[in-house]
Amino acid sequence: MRSALGGLIAGMLSGAVLMSLGIGAEPGLAQQSAATAIPRTAAGRPDLNGLWQALNTANYDIQAHTARPAMAMRPGPVVPIPARDVIALGAIGAVPSGTGVVVGDELPYLPEALAQKKKNQESWLTLDPEIKCYLPGVPRANYMPFPFQIFQSDTAFFMAYEYAGAVRNVFLSNPGPAPVDSWMGQSWGRWDGDTFVVESSGFNDQTWFDRSGNHHSEQMTVVERYTMTDRDHIQYEATITDPKVFSRPWTMRMPLYRHVNAEARLGQFKCVEFVEELMFGQYRKVPAR
């Protein structure tokens, strides 16, 4: 009796050890583990190559917000409300609710900068650089409702965006100060363990963080962190430092999702031709129909 009981216990322990080592595990579990493993390059770095997209409402407002109608001050290419100095966009322009992407949900604006944010929000329809097809800047380019593609090798790192054909060439060594300020700034990246860290500076002051008027100055610097959590997800963080606009650095955080469908491609959204009438139609001798 004791011998039989001892054999039973030994067998159970042996099975537990084998399961803990992954030996004799069910094929489905092994396949699931392989499917979620982080892909790596020949050099052993996480392989970030692919088509990625954020799935949130940060492009409307990076802070938590309820659904609301989109209205703006005149003028604008939408339907005016009689006897009111606003224009209504209806359901197609309404803002969906969102939990926000700012860690702590607080933007530490300096007083004058907060006043400018409120002015921007009131007139976003005519002031937001997005509506005019200007380059989106960093980090906004990463959470607009368009995918972007990462091209990574041991000697190069390049990012291509569907919106407005924006691109970023990420240097793999510090090139020093940017020679000129620009819409997308100058970026250089390095590895911190399995996290790819990108430091960017040399921005102009023309881009916004969202359609709610959140803005920055030419003194902004951005430190981004790209950390793969499995083969199809990246945990993305961006820390903003801008002493001219904010009293302290702050961080936004969100997941990025890989496009896994076989036909996934980076499309083209060359929107310049879509905004010519908006920006220059008033100068036509004969109004367009």
pLDDT computed for residue 285 by the predictor: 80
The CA-CA-CA angle for residues 175, 179, 181, to 5°, reads: 115
Asked whether residue 118 is domain-assigned, the answer is yes
Tokens of 50: 């692919």
Separation of alpha carbons 271 and 128, rounded Å: 14
In this prediction the pTM is 0.83
Statement to judge: residues 56 and 182 lie in one domain: yes
pLDDT computed for residue 130 by the predictor: 96
pLDDT computed for residue 87 by the predictor: 57
pLDDT computed for residue 28 by the predictor: 54
Q: HSE-up of 85 (CA within 13 Å, CB side)?
A: 3
pLDDT tens digits, 72-91: 544 444 444 444 555 567 78
pLDDT computed for residue 18 by the predictor: 40
Statement to judge: residues 78 and 183 lie in one domain: yes
Statement to judge: residues 201 and 253 lie in one domain: yes
Tally of domains in the chain: 2
Statement to judge: residues 153 and 215 lie in one domain: yes
Quote the domain boundaries for residue 25.
2-36
Asked whether residue 151 is domain-assigned, the answer is yes
Percent of the chain with pLDDT over 90: 70
Asked whether residue 247 is domain-assigned, the answer is yes
Q: Which long-range contacts (CB under 8 A, 24 or more apart) does 57-60 make?
A: 57/95, 57/96, 57/97, 57/98, 58/98, 58/100, 58/101, 58/143, 58/210, 58/252, 58/254, 59/130, 59/140, 59/143, 59/144, 59/145, 59/210, 59/211, 60/95, 60/96, 60/98, 60/210, 60/211, 60/212
Statement to judge: residues 93 and 23 lie in one domain: no
Asked whether residue 44 is domain-assigned, the answer is no
Asked whether residue 245 is domain-assigned, the answer is yes
User: Residue 197: how many CB atoms within 10 A of its CB?
Assistant: 16
Statement to judge: residues 107 and 217 lie in one domain: yes
Asked whether residue 41 is domain-assigned, the answer is no
Statement to judge: residues 22 and 93 lie in one domain: no
pLDDT tens digits, 128-152: 999 999 999 999 999 999 999 999 9
Q: What is the mean pLDDT of the chain?
A: 86
DSSP, residue by residue, the chain: -HHHHHHHHHHHHHHHHHHHTTTT--HHHHHHHHHHSPPB-TTS-B---EEEEE-SSTTT-SS-B--B--EEESP-SSEEPTTSSEEE-TGGGPBPPB--SBGGG---B-HHHHHHHHHHHHTHHHH-GGGGT----TTGGGTSSS-EEEEE-SS-EEEEESBTT-EEEEESS---S-SS-BSS-EEEEEEETTEEEEEEE-B-S--BSSTT--B--TT-EEEEEEEEEETTEEEEEEEEE-TTTBSS-EEEEEEEEE--STT-----B-GGGGSHHHHHGGG-SS---
Statement to judge: residues 108 and 23 lie in one domain: no
pLDDT class for 34, splitting at 50, 70, 90?
Answer: low
pLDDT tens digits, 214-234: 999 999 999 999 999 999 999
Statement to judge: residues 111 and 137 lie in one domain: yes
- Region 202-225: what's the mean pLDDT? 98
Asked whether residue 289 is domain-assigned, the answer is no
The CA-CA-CA angle for residues 22, 28, 32, to 5°, reads: 80
Asked whether residue 254 is domain-assigned, the answer is yes
Statement to judge: residues 15 and 120 lie in one domain: no
Statement to judge: residues 21 and 60 lie in one domain: no
Statement to judge: residues 13 and 85 lie in one domain: no
